[in-house]
């Protein structure tokens, strides 16, 4: 593993810190920073799909063992585990519990593919489960809120669907249209150059991830600084969630007979959380309860470096 790969968690923390500093020093910049989160994610995934074999994605739908395992972990194990962690560590505040549970029951629909790629995992297989994760979280999130809150929460699936279109469908379609167009041209040099860039785009993907992190934390810097004590309360259950899931899911994948690449895909499919979508839902559903949104803002501050650490551990174990 290169020195740059080993330092990825530090780069992510630095990006978050830079975002908070920028948002604090320039409130105007902070207010506009949120508009850049989705574009950075879209560019990241454009390069992921530019280097991915879409034929392999279609074949991945036939892997029922992976699909069933991912769904059971995401929608049975993770909610139950999150509920236990919330009751154990966050019992002093219902809003903290709600925010934590919302974060933990919504699987990521964008940057988990980045970490799968960083871990040299099967990105195509990881992407194949996304539609199932999306449909399941749209259907089950209201039920989870009802179960854990004891009351119904009203919101539409439109926000989640819009996020899917913006950060997955558009990048995937753009990357594949570009590849298809280049195959039909006589510009062999341009085609070869594009393939070379796609094959070595890992550093660019990570740079764009850091930009998205900086934008996210710049847009919420003042809220973070005013309630920074929440971070200390939130840290233990978040660390436990990602540490336990990282080890347990990788071990479960070995029991299932999955290859290293498929196990890495399962780890990040089952670990990465959908904080941008959860935050959007919380802003609509709980506008008068800012602590719920605060949890979803603070979550990535630990989630992203922890996912990067897991990616580094997996790469090291596999000898990359």
Q: What is the CATH number of the domain that holds 299?
A: 1.20.1530.20
Length of the chain equals: 320
User: Which residues, 6+ apart, have CB-to-CB distance to 310 below 8 Å?
Assistant: 115, 119, 242, 246, 267, 268, 271
pLDDT of residue 79: 93
Q: Is residue 111's pLDDT more than 90?
A: no
* pLDDT confidence band for 60 (50 / 70 / 90): low
Q: Of 2-16, 40-54, 73-87, 145-159, where does mean pLDDT reach its minimum?
A: 145-159
Residue 107 pairs with which residues in a beta bridge? 273
What is the per-residue burial (b if ≥16 Cβ within 10 Å, else e) of 212-228? bbbbbbbbbbebbeeee
Averaged confidence pLDDT in the chain:
78
pLDDT band at 82; cut points 50, 70, 90: very high
Write the pLDDT tens digit of every residue in 256-284: 999 999 999 999 999 988 766 676 566 65
| pLDDT score at 288 | 65
Per the rule left: phi > 0, alpha: psi between -120 and 50, beta: everything else, 185 is beta
* Lowest-confidence pick of 55-69, 73-87, 251-265, 272-286: 272-286
Cross-strand pairs, 273: 107
pLDDT of residue 240: 93
Mean pLDDT calculated for residue range 190-199 = 61
Judged against a pLDDT cut of 80, whether residue 244 lies above it is answered with yes
pLDDT at 106 over 50: yes
From residue 1, give the alpha-carbon distance in Å to each of 118, 313, 317.
11, 10, 10
Q: Measured between alpha carbons, how far is 91 from 253 in angstroms, rounded to an integer? A: 33
Quote the number of domains for the chain.
1
What does residue 62 show for φ and ψ, rounded to 5 degrees?
A: -80, -10
What is the pLDDT averaged over residues 117-121?
87
Indicate if the pLDDT at residue 312 is higher than 70. yes
Average pLDDT in the 53-64 region? Answer: 65
- C-alpha distances (whole Å) from 241 to each of 82, 99, 114 are 7, 14, 20
pLDDT value, residue 154:
47
| pLDDT value at residue 32 | 84
Higher pLDDT, 257 or 154: 257
Q: pLDDT of 28-50, one tens digit each?
A: 888 788 788 778 877 877 887 77
Q: Is 296 helix (H, G, I), strand (E, B) or coil?
A: helix
pLDDT recorded at residue 153: 47
Which domain does 128 fall in, by range?
3-318
**Residue 23 reports pLDDT greater than 90:** no
Confidence of residue 52 (pLDDT cuts 50, 70, 90): low
When pLDDT is cut at 50, 70 and 90, the band that residue 152 belongs to is very low
| 3-class SS of residue 45 | helix
- Token pair 């062999």 is found at 188
């Amino acid at each position: 593993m290169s020195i740059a790969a080993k330092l990825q968690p530090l780069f992510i923390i630095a990006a978050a810190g830079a975002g908070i500093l920028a948002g604090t020093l320039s409130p105007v910049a902070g207010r506009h920073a949120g508009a850049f989160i989705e574009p950075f994610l879209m560019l990241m995934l454009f390069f992921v799909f530019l280097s991915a074999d879409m034929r392999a994605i279609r074949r991945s739908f036939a892997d029922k063992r992976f699909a069933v395992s991912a769904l059971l972990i995401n929608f049975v194990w993770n909610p139950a585990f999150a509920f236990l962690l919330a009751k154990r560590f966050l019992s002093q505040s219902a809003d903290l519990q709600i925010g934590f549970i919302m974060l933990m029951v919504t699987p990521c629909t964008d940057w988990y593919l980045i970490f799968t790629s960083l871990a040299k995992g099967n990105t195509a297989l990881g992407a194949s489960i996304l539609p199932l994760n999306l449909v399941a979280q749209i259907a089950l999130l209201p039920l989870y809120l009802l179960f854990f809150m004891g009351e119904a929460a009203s919101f539409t699936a439109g926000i989640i669907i819009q996020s899917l279109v913006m950060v997955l469908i558009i990048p995937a379609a753009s990357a594949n249209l570009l590849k298809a167009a280049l195959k039909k041209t006589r510009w062999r040099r341009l085609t070869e150059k594009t393939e070379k860039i796609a094959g070595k785009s890992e550093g660019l993907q990570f740079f764009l991830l850091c930009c998205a992190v900086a934008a996210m934390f710049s847009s919420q810097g003042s809220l973070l600084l005013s309630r920074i004590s929440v971070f200390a309360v939130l840290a233990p259950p978040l660390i436990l969630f990602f540490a336990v899931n990282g080890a347990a899911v990788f071990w479960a994948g070995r029991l299932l007979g999955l290859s290293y690449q498929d196990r890495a895909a399962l780890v990040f499919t089952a670990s990465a959380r959908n904080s941008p979508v959860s935050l959007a839902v919380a802003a609509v559903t709980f506008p008068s309860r800012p602590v719920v949104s605060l949890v979803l803002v603070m979550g990535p501050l630990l989630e992203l470096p922890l996912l990067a650490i897991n990616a580094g551990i997996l790469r090291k174990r596999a000898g990359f």
